[in-house]
Structure 1
Amino acid sequence: MKHTFLKIFGILIMVFMMVSSCGGAKESLSISDDEKKAFTQKVGDTINIADTKTEYEIIIIEPGFNFWLNSIAKPEGYYSQSYLENRNNVYVIEWNQRVLQPQVYDPDLYELQIDYSPNIDYGYEVNYKLYNYFIYFQRKYNQRLGPFIPRI
């Protein structure tokens, strides 16, 4: 009885090890030529993200982001506002944690915290552009701000 238990236990451990080591191939990001063009721009874009119905705004100064937003990103209306809010909440939490750890994460990438509350309705445009900035940022700087692969 004791030997049977040990055999079964040993088999279970071997199966577990085999399953856990058989991860799928890591998915790499496919960066198009147009996206590479946006990433290599040196002239600074200043994007003012504001919702006319609310009084919230975000200012992003990032070379190439405006070009990327207008030529690469999914168009407004593609995502629902609740989808954008959920993703933005995950990204903001991770972003703010990285800002607080400059010894671990590049302080030139993560300079300032983002004041974003899941209890406030910032409107569609603010959420859309913030979400797309996170996607742009992750793809350009090869970062992961959450469990999601930053796809366009």
Structure 2
Amino acid sequence: MKNLLLIFAFSLAILSCGTGNKAIDNSSTDTTESDTIRIANDSLEYEIMIIEPGFDSWLISQPKPGHYGQSFLESKNRLFVSEYNSRVLQPQNYSRNLYTEQINYDTAVDYGYEVNYLLYNYFVYFQQKYNQKFIGGRN
């Protein structure tokens, strides 16, 4: 399971490495560090890494931790992971650049509030940034 989450994070890193025509302001701070969010729990053997330029600054504008209950986040994540994994299996209908690897989200595991909060918000961000609509998403 840890390996699958690492593959997912690596896939997100590759996905976020697009070319752009925007000028880079060298006077700004390095956002690589601030755009990487890592959460790990060795006892459960999981790790989630979100490497997505702009996610960290977007997250600041979202409802703060505690706004949603953990059961709400878990139910949304079950829907979103199911939808995401379904799209991974349909490369003829969905871009392999967006849907690279399946996510192993075990509903029997209590990942805790922080993981569920970040995963939920990443899916909301993903839908907005890439103009995707998931079942139960907020668009």
TM-score by length of 2: 0.70
Give the Å deviation of 1:53.
7.6
Aligned length: 109
Letter in 2 for 1:46: T
2:72 to 77, 83, 104: 83
Give the Å deviation of 1:73.
1.4
1:50 aligns with 2:17: no
Give the Å deviation of 1:100.
1.1
Give the Å deviation of 1:148.
3.3
Match of 1:121 in 2: 110
Identity %: 54
- Return the structure number with greater relative CO, CA threshold 8 A, min gap 6: 2
Match of 1:34 in 2: none
1:149 aligns with 2:119: no
Match of 2:53 in 1: 63
CA spacing shift, 1:75–1:53, aligned 2, 3 Å: farther
Q: Which one has a larger percent helix, Structure 1 or Structure 2? A: 1
> Cα RMSD (Å) of the superposition?
2.1
Between the aligned partners of 2:112 and 2:42, the Cα distance in structure 1 is 9
Between the aligned partners of 1:52 and 1:77, the Cα distance in structure 2 is 24
- 2:76–2:136: 8 Å Cα contact kept in structure 1? no
Between the aligned partners of 2:80 and 2:104, the Cα distance in structure 1 is 12
Structure 1 gap ranges (5+): 1-39
Between the aligned partners of 2:115 and 2:40, the Cα distance in structure 1 is 6
Where 2:105 maps in the other structure, the secondary structure is coil
Give the Å deviation of 1:118.
1.2
Give the Å deviation of 1:49.
2.7
**Larger Rg computed on CA atoms:** 1
TM-score by length of 1: 0.65
CA spacing shift, 1:145–1:72, aligned 2, 3 Å: same
Equivalence map 1:1-150=2 (5 Å): 44=32, 45-50=35-40, 54-69=44-59, 71-150=60-139
- 1:94–1:146: 8 Å Cα contact kept in structure 2? yes
Give the Å deviation of 1:50.
3.2
- 2:127–2:134: 8 Å Cα contact kept in structure 1? yes
Where 2:79 maps in the other structure, the secondary structure is helix
- 1:53–1:123: 8 Å Cα contact kept in structure 2? no
- 2:40–2:46: 8 Å Cα contact kept in structure 1? yes
